[in-house]
Amino acid sequence: MTTLPDMETARNIAHRLLDQKLAACISVIPAVTSIYVWNGEVCESGEHLLLIKTTSACYGKVETLLRKQHPYDLPEIIATEITQGLPDYLGWINESTQE
């Protein structure tokens, strides 16, 4: 997952991930509020959350793309392991991310 400052950037990155077959699906959740400490100050920002459905094999390339395309100095890039899921859905993710 990652957060982005605006919908245009979120959509652009989502399309790049799909075009390169690095993800099967990206859910864009608009209008989240992030409250965090940055440079010693409490900040509050409106952001868009991307939930990127991919495989562990694609993670490195996803991270590289995000680091190149992301407008933040220190982007949120977090991966969580899928421990369970609908087998057909997980199979679709695998099929969609294979070159």
Domain ranges of the chain: 2-96
- pLDDT at position 69 is 96
| CATH classification for the domain delimited by 2-96, as one of 3.40.50.300, 3.30.70.120, 3.40.190.10, 3.30.750.200 | 3.30.70.120
Amino acid 99: pLDDT: 66
* Alpha carbons 77 and 74: distance in angstroms, whole number: 9
Q: What is the pTM of this model?
A: 0.92
What backbone torsions phi and psi does residue 25 show, to the nearest 5 degrees? -160, 145
pLDDT in tens, 40-85: 999 999 999 999 999 999 999 999 999 999 999 999 999 999 999 9
Answer whether 46's CB lies under 8 Å from 69's CB: no
pLDDT band at 98 (very low <50, low <70, confident <90, very high): confident
Helix (H) or strand (E) holding 46: strand 41-53
